[in-house]
């Protein structure tokens, strides 16, 4: 169950895998881990990061041994959280930042960037 927080400080919520996640409303453009691999990706599918696309993204992110975050504007969420991803409100044309640490960090970023650029497998 999400824990709401109305202040501008980070808010805690539960990710789909049962771990706690943070919605960071501070600076998504500042890397969480200096030197961590990162990518800027533009959402190209018509519906943006909606429920089905978020589920596909979270499932793909969970397949790697890496801690992956996704940021848009002033929010950053765990890549394995469907609800967190949907909270970003990423629409077609929006840019998201992917950042990863861990053994599979680079491979995870390549796979997730490909998933986004291929429209999450959607036709438009």
Query: Is 50 annotated in the active site?
Result: yes
- Residue-wise pLDDT for 70-115, tens only, equals 999 999 999 999 999 999 999 999 999 999 999 999 999 999 999 9
Domain 11-121: CATH class, spelled out: alpha beta
Catalytic member of 47, 50, 97, 119: 50
Integer CA distances (angstroms), 20 to 12, 13, 16, 82, in order: 7, 6, 9, 13
pTM of the predicted protein model: 0.75
Instruction: Name residue, tokens 């041994």.
Output: 65
């Amino acid at each position: 169950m999400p824990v709401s927080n109305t202040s501008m400080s980070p808010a805690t919520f539960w990710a789909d895998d049962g771990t706690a996640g943070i919605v960071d409303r501070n600076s998504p453009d500042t890397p969480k881990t200096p030197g961590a691999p990162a990518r800027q990706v533009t959402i190209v599918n018509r519906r943006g990061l909606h429920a089905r696309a978020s589920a596909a993204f979270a499932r793909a992110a969970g397949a790697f041994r890496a801690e992956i975050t996704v940021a848009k504007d002033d929010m950053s969420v765990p890549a394995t959280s469907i609800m967190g991803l949907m909270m970003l409100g990423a629409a077609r044309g929006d840019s998201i930042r992917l950042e990863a640490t861990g053994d599979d960090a680079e491979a995870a970023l390549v796979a997730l960037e490909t998933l986004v650029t291929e429209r999450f497998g959607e036709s438009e």
